[in-house]
Structures are given as C-alpha cells and as structure tokens.
A and B are shown apart, each in its own frame.
Chain A
Amino acid sequence: METLLRVTDLSRSFGGHPVLAEVNLCLERGEVLGLLGPNGAGKTTCLRLLGGMLAPTSGRIEIQGIDLARRPLEAKRHLGFLPERPPLYPELRVDEYLTFCARLHRIPRRRIAGSIEEVKQRCGLEDSGRRLIAKLSKGYRQRLGIAQAILHQPRLLILDEPTEGLDPFQMRELRRLIRELARDCGVILSSHLLPEIQAVCDRAVILDQGRIRFNDYLVKEQPIYGWRVRLGPRSTLVKLTDLSCLVGAVDMGEDRYRVLLADGADSAELARQVVQAGLELRELVPEHSDLERAFFDLIGVEDDA
C-alpha cells in the first residue's frame, strides 16, 4: 500500500499551552480515517496542521513523502481541505467560485470547465451553477465546500466535520461519495457523530486533551453479542435467563435488561424466544460498539441510558 500521509511526533502549543502532543499517524491510499474527540480535544488544530495552515511547534508532516514545512507548495498540490466553516465568497456565483478554486489549485485552463461539471455532478450542484453563494442554504454551502476540496482530485482529502448542516439524505450521499473518493485517495475526517465515523471509516483515532488515546481499525460486520432489551411488566430476570440463546443477563431496573447472546445465536433468535416465553418484547437495541465504549471510557462519561 502507498503511504499518503505520515505524521511524526507532531506537537503544537498556543502561548505555551500544549494543544496537541506527540501525535503519530499514517494514512494509506484507499483508507478513510475518522478523527473523534470531545470539544477542545485538538481535532481542528490537528487538521489545520495537516492542511499547512498552522506550523507545528515540533514534529514532521509528509504528504506523499513531501515535507509540508520545507516544500509546502508541492505538498499542498496533493491536498484537498474542507475547514469547519466552508471557505466561500458569498458575493460570487457557484461557477465563478469553483473556477477561482480551480485556478488556485493550478488546474490547466482547458480542463477547468470539465472538472467543474464533474464535481458539481458528484456533489449534487448541477442546477446551482448560476446561483449566488449568499443565497445558498447551509446544506448547499457545505456541498460547495466539499466540491472545492475535491475539485483538483487530491490524493489526500481532509474534511473537518463534513456532515455539519446536512440532512440525513445528504449525509448518506456524502458517505457514499467519501467511499467512492477513497478508492483513489486517502481521507481524514473529523466528526462528533460516532455512528457516522463507524459507517464510513476504516480506522478511528480518538483524541483527548491533545493526545491520541485510541487508534485502531474498525471491524465491520462483527456479530454483536451484547444487547439491551425492555420487556413487559410481568418479566423477571429468572425468566429471561431461562432462554437458551442467552449466556447471561443483568437487571437494569424498570423492566430493562442487559443480555449476552450465546455463540451462534442472533438478535432474531433472541426476539423469537422472548416472544415465545410471553415476556412481551418492547425494545431490543444493540449494546455500544467497541468504538463507542472506548470513546465514553476516555472522556469519562458513564452511559446508563
């Protein structure tokens, strides 16, 4: 695999106060990396450093083997960046804005019109070319922000909270777009939404107080053994543990139970047995994933809901 990004011992302080410390990262081609963390964890600082907008206090960033600090122009040619607030000029029209972005990223003149058409199609902006940016809705502004980031077909795409302001349908579209883009490039995205990271990323990094606390691949299609059920008022823990598909159950009060499935059993089997035993199944939700558990453990929030 081709390493697109290599970050070595990256640190950054603001006025003597460390915001990011000893961050080490690698991103391969075709990989989508999710950056998670509570507010003030250093996510945006980390992404701004990777985008070359901030200089690190110490450490090194290489994009396709090019040192970002020593050869910024060459390194930035491979970079597409969407900041937290889409960097738009409200007085311009969509096409004018994209043409300006294309020229900034040194796309040859003869290819500009084609690239703009392609990117508008990808981001659902086909009919918005003549619209004034000031008149666009938040969702459309976000789409335009993504469009400028992918216009020059960068090898490394950095998206700071890309789903902000999008409706669920647009979120699904964006997820599909990110997976599509990840075929040729590497993507780093930050988000507050754990399910979003789980749905689209291959790897998650959790930042807390400027340090990496978790950096692991997300295993998809993993069978879920932990479930939470809410039953009818006549249910008891004893009746529940009698079910053959369970190896354990814990009473959480108010007819709620945390159960652990036996090997080979699935949620459908659990639902069937609960109903057959006359326990009145009212809710059946999966327990938190590893990522969620890691996140809540790190930021110290007990989740008893």
Chain B
Amino acid sequence: MIGAIVGREWRGGLVTPLPWILLGAGQVVLAWIFLGVIESFSGLGADERVASLTQELALNLFGFAAVIAMLAAPLMAMRMLSGEFRDGSYELIEAAPVRLAEVVIGKFLGLALLMTPLCLLPAVNLLMLAGAAELDVGQVAAATLGLWLATLLFCAIGLYASSLTNQPGASVFVAFGILLLFSIVGRAESLTDRTLSLFGWLSWNEHLFWFLLGAVRLSDLAYFLFFTGVFLALTQRRLANRRLQ
C-alpha cells in the first residue's frame, strides 16, 4: 500500500516541471559556489590555507545545498496534501481502505525520493574533482548523509504544513515560518546572559554543521530522526482530525 502511494507521488512528481526547475536552479547556484570556492582556494598559498579543500567545499557547497533544500521542500510538499484537498483527489484516498499512517509514510517517502537528487547534487559536483585533487571521501559521505537527513526534516515539516490548509500557497508560507523558526532559534542563545543550550540544540543548522565537518554523531542523527518523526506524527493527527471537523 505504501509502495503504491510512493509510486504515484514519484510518477506524479516527475511529470510536473517543479522538481526539474528546482534541480536546475539548484545546480546553477551550487556550480557558482563551487567555482567560487575552487578559485579562492587555488589562489591561496599553501601556508595561507586554514582548512582542506574538502572542508571548504563541504561547508560552503553542502551548507548552501541545505538552504536550497529548505526552500524546495515546502514547494514540493504543497501539492501532496494541500493541493489534493483543493482538487478533491484526496477523497479517493479517504474512501479507500488505507490507514492514515500509510498515507503519511507513503507521501513522505515519495517526497523524500523526489528530493534525493537535490541532496546528491553537491556530491556530484565534487566528483568532478576526483583525480584532480585529493578529497576526503568519508567527509563527503558524512556531509551528504547530513544534508539528506536535514532534507528529510524539511520534507516532514513541509508535509505537516501541507496538511494544515487546502491553500497550497498558504501551506508554503506556514512551512517557511516553521523552518525559519528552526533556523534562527539557535541565535536566542546569544540574547541571554546564561547559556541556554536547549535553543542551540533545537536549531537544525547546528546539527548539520557536525555532519559537514565529517563527524557523524548519534545525537545529531537522533535530532533529525526525532523531529522528522514528530512532524510526521503531527501530520497523521491532523489528517485524523479532518474527519471530525
């Protein structure tokens, strides 16, 4: 059942222009950053370099890719529930013998599958340097994993926002709002005298940072998986409540 929903979302996504536009635009931006980093790195003398090429690229390329994924996920998610509520096609699923959890997981996996090429873009860009420069494959793999996990979180937030309204445009703004909160909440730390590590912990970029440095920590893995799960559970509750409204 989940497979059928994933297949439909994947097929439906591929024939619409949005993922291709996002992938194309993402590549243009990443290529620009890639070239910028390479140029500034190669312009420095060996004693002026503070970090390795892999580290420079991981922090810049993957960091920007995460921002692109953050903007793309709500746009991709909006048609999955919100668009279906508006067009009435969600009624097909409502009347079918399908569990809501299956619907949520199916849609989430479909969305994650559609977003995965975007997560692989930085690594593909780095592949071009293979043979020409020494790259730390382990760090690139860790950064790719971190980017993918962050994207899963963005997808879950996008899907939750999509379940809140039958106006796809409004759902995108709601998702951006939640994502913005999760992005800047870490800065609250600097506003207080005492160190409130909770705010720092809540912010996704703090956790992604460690992945980009090549460290796969259990606490960061747990953070992404936990919040992805929380937003999927909220989506499921939201869909269940629709029957009562």
Contacts and interface: CB of A to CB of B under 8 A. Distances in A.
Interface of A: 14, 51-55, 72-74, 76-77, 79, 81, 83-92, 96, 100-101, 103-106, 148
B13 to A, nearest CB: 9
Contacts of B16: 91
A55 B244 CA distance: 5
Contacts of A104: 1, 4, 92-93, 96-98
B97 A81 contact: no
Given A92-B15, A103-B1, A105-B97, 6 more contacts: A51-B95, A89-B12, A92-B8, A103-B3, A103-B4, A104-B92
Contact of A106 (B1, B3, B88, B244): B1
B244 A81 contact: no
Nearest to A100: B8
Given A53-B94, A104-B98, A87 B89 contact: yes
**Closest A-B pairs by Cβ, 8 of them:** A87-B92, A103-B4, A81-B95, A85-B88, A76-B97, A104-B96, A53-B94, A83-B91
Contacts of A51: 91, 94-95
16 contacts: A51-B91, A51-B95, A53-B94, A53-B95, A54-B243, A73-B99, A77-B97, A85-B88, A87-B89, A87-B90, A92-B12, A92-B15, A96-B11, A100-B7, A100-B8, A104-B96
A105 B7 CA distance: 15
B97 A73 contact: yes
B244 A74 contact: no
Interface in B80-119: 87-99
Contact of B15 (A81, A91, A103, A106): A91
A148 B90 CA distance: 14
B45 to A, nearest CB: 54
A106 B97 contact: yes
A52 B92 contact: no
Interface residues of B, number: 25
Nearest to B94: A53
Contacts, number: 72
A90 B57 CA distance: 41
Contacts of B92: 87, 101, 104, 148
Given A51-B95, A79-B95, A100 B89 contact: no
B219 to A, nearest CB: 38
B96 A76 contact: yes
B226 to A, nearest CB: 29
Contacts of B15: 91-92
A55 B94 contact: no
A14 B7 CA distance: 36
A85 B92 CA distance: 10
A53 B8 CA distance: 21
A96 to B, nearest CB: 7
Contacts of A83: 88, 91, 95
A99 to B, nearest CB: 9
A91 B83 CA distance: 13
Contacts of B1: 103-104, 106
Given A89-B89, A100-B4, A106-B1, A53 B243 contact: yes
A147 to B, nearest CB: 12
A73 B100 CA distance: 11
Contacts of B87: 85, 90
Interface string B14-55: 011000000000000000000000000000000000000000
B243 A55 contact: yes
A101 B98 CA distance: 11
A89 B98 CA distance: 18
A72 B103 CA distance: 15
Given A53-B91, A81-B91, A87-B91, A92 B11 contact: yes
Given A87-B89, A88-B89, A76 B95 contact: yes
A144 B94 CA distance: 18
Nearest to A79: B95
B184 to A, nearest CB: 36
Contacts of A91: 12, 15-16
A77 B98 CA distance: 9
| Residue among B1, B87, B90, B92 facing the most chain A CB atoms (10 A cut-off) | B92
Tell me which of A55, A77, A79, A148 has the highest count of chain B C-beta atoms within 10 A of its own C-beta: A55
B106 to A, nearest CB: 10
Contacts of A14: 245
Among B12, B94, B97, residue most surrounded by chain A Cβ atoms (within 10 Å): B97
Nearest to B14: A91
A89 B90 contact: no
